[in-house]
Amino acid sequence: MASIFFFILAILLSSRTSGATSRGGGLFEASAVEKHEQWMSRFHRVYSHDAEKASRFEIFKKNLKFVESFNMKTNKTYKLDVNKFSDLTDEEFQARYMGLVVPEGTSSLDSHKTVSFRHENVSEIGESMDWRQEGAVTPVKNQNPCGCCWAFSAVAAVEGIMKIAKGNLVSLSEQQLLDCSTENYGCNGGLMDKAFNYIINNQGITTEDSYPYQESQQTCDSTHSAAATISDYKTVTQNDEEALLKAVSQQPVSVAIDGSGAAFKQYDGGIFDGEDCGTNLSHGVTIVGYGMSEEGIKYWLLKNSWGEQWGENGYMRIKRDVDSPEGACGLAKLAFYPVA
């Protein structure tokens, strides 16, 4: 009799647990449906038919679950949130919103530029620097679904050095690079050093107002007058965050980074620790500062090109002085800066 009693008790407990799990899953499903509707309204997302909405909801639900599970962790220095990318798979996101094309090895990079480093003798480095406060950073821009992060990264660095050297902050044309920098591949990717090469060889780059961004590669228009020029560019000593710090203390710097992780995609604020990413460089951004949090965590300040609704109003703070020489997400592997 006792064995029968315990058998029945086990079945009852199993049934109760299964029901609770089912109810929990049902609650998440209902919550996800509501949050998807709110998200569609917030980001003005309209689907062409019910089948597309259903498939995109499944992707959204997966991303939402990742965000909510991550934010339950108490030992993290940053938070995630659903954003305009949350109904895209990681593969779709990378194809549309990144676009860095890095040559295999460093042999294809200009050798004299890889060994020269203009700021190597800098001795005075403050505890923090924010080039936005110095008026050397234009408002956050948005590349939208065109893989030309390389152009936005390069332009932000040129805008910065022009302000520092000449005194005027002028928003410059990514579209000119997209159309005319033939060493790069338009929306199919590129690299910042080739964009700098174009500006040098073309004897300048024009303003964004005169050559506005179109979100796709167009025919090169060479009739615009130059609003900014550079004489050269340099490559920061690779895998050396101290060298990178010296450079950023003097001007904004274009860097390559691994932005492919799910947490990077849905970063909402705080100091990103880089544990979600590797060092497979996929995205171009601009480091416009550095500092230390109240908790004593050192960070870099990145300007991205995904609009102000991503991250901290379009920016990311990412951990500095990590154990790996490549830096968090590989940001110290490949960094360039223009010379006025």
Q: Which of 75, 109, 127 is the last residue of a domain?
A: 75
**Is 148 marked active-site?**
no
What is the value of pTM for the model shown? Answer: 0.89
Helix (H) or strand (E) holding 245: helix 241-248
- Mean pLDDT, residues 278-296: 96
CA distance 225 to 214: 19
Asked whether 166 and 133 are in contact (CB, 8 A), the reply is no
Looking up tokens 């601009």 gives 286
CA distance 37 to 146: 26
**Is 75 marked active-site?**
no
Cα 96 to Cα 43, 88, 103, 181, 295, distances in angstroms: 17, 10, 20, 19, 36
CA distance 63 to 266: 9
pLDDT band per the 50, 70, 90 thresholds, residue 116: low
**Of these residues, 146, 148, 149, 277, which one is catalytic?**
149
Helix axes 2-42, 50-71, angle to 10 degrees: 110
Residue 167 φ/ψ region, left for φ over 0, alpha for ψ in the -120 to 50 degree band, beta for the rest: left
Q: Which of 75, 109, 134 is the last residue of a domain?
A: 75
**Of these residues, 36, 187, 304, 329, which one is catalytic?**
304
What's the alpha-carbon Rg for the chain, to the nearest Å?
23
87: pLDDT strictly greater than 90: yes
327: pLDDT strictly greater than 90: yes
Q: What is the pLDDT of residues 159-170, one digit of tens each?
A: 999 999 999 999
pLDDT band per the 50, 70, 90 thresholds, residue 200: very high
Q: What is the pLDDT of residues 136-166, one digit of tens each?
A: 999 999 999 999 999 999 999 999 999 999 9
**Is residue 261 domain-shared with residue 139, that is, in the same domain?**
yes
- 85 belongs to a structural domain: no
- Mean pLDDT, residues 26-39: 87
Asked whether 82 and 63 are in contact (CB, 8 A), the reply is yes
Q: What is the pLDDT of residues 230-286, one digit of tens each?
A: 999 999 999 999 999 999 999 999 999 999 889 999 999 999 999 889 999 999 999
**Is residue 53 domain-shared with residue 102, that is, in the same domain?**
no
Domain count, the chain: 2
